[in-house]
Structure 1
Amino acid sequence: MRLKTSLLIAVLCASVLSGCSEEEAYPGPIPSEEGHTYSPEQGAYLNAVRDLNWPTGMTEKDALFAALAVCGEEKDGNSDPAWLAHKVSEDFGLEAADAVQVVTTADVVFCIPLNHPSTP
């Protein structure tokens, strides 16, 4: 329950901080942020999703929050890829094809390792 609440707060914060709305244009890639160090998994995920058409103002942190939201939903039993893509599209302002890419990449890079039985 604590993880679910934390993820919900993270998603809400990401949505508020990003300032995205349905009317915004999709300018393209998110910029690389100077001075940030990421784990190999985070770097791999960001490299895979950076060039998607993110809404104006989205950052690398927003992209990481999207991955965490996917993993949180899967942990709660919501593992339908179409539903997850729709949720990511609504919560993070991505077009459908880009939301599918976020879900697929997050699943491979983060969610499967997080849900693996050997993970505490």
Structure 2
Amino acid sequence: MNNQAIASPKAPAAVGPYSQAIRAEGVSINISGQLPIDPATGKFPGDDIESQTRQSLTNMKVILEEAGTDMSSVVETTVLLADIADFAAMNAVYSEFFSEPYPARAAFQVGALPLGARVEIKAVARI
């Protein structure tokens, strides 16, 4: 994929593994929010944010593989957190799944997530 990071020195620099913006070409794949459900068990892999983030992103990865692409085609993500205090730990796991140019990203604390999850992540990919 030929994604190009856009970075303006007149805007704040990214403070994590994401780009200010991404210029992307191709067809969009819009991935619904992925809860951290292990498809083999139907349950969360653990109660901690690290295992839940890893599972959500693994779910995203296999969906992209089914579409014939990979995580490098992701141009934008939205991360929903049950507790914004989990941001740094989520961010550490998130950085294992993406490389430069990082996708554009927004992250929010929400009142609650389905099934009591700690994280849900949605994405837009281009192929």
Whether these two folds match at TM > 0.5 is no
Larger RCO, structures 1/2 (Cα 8 Å, 6+ apart): 2
- Structure number with greater Rg is 2
Richer in strand (by share): 2
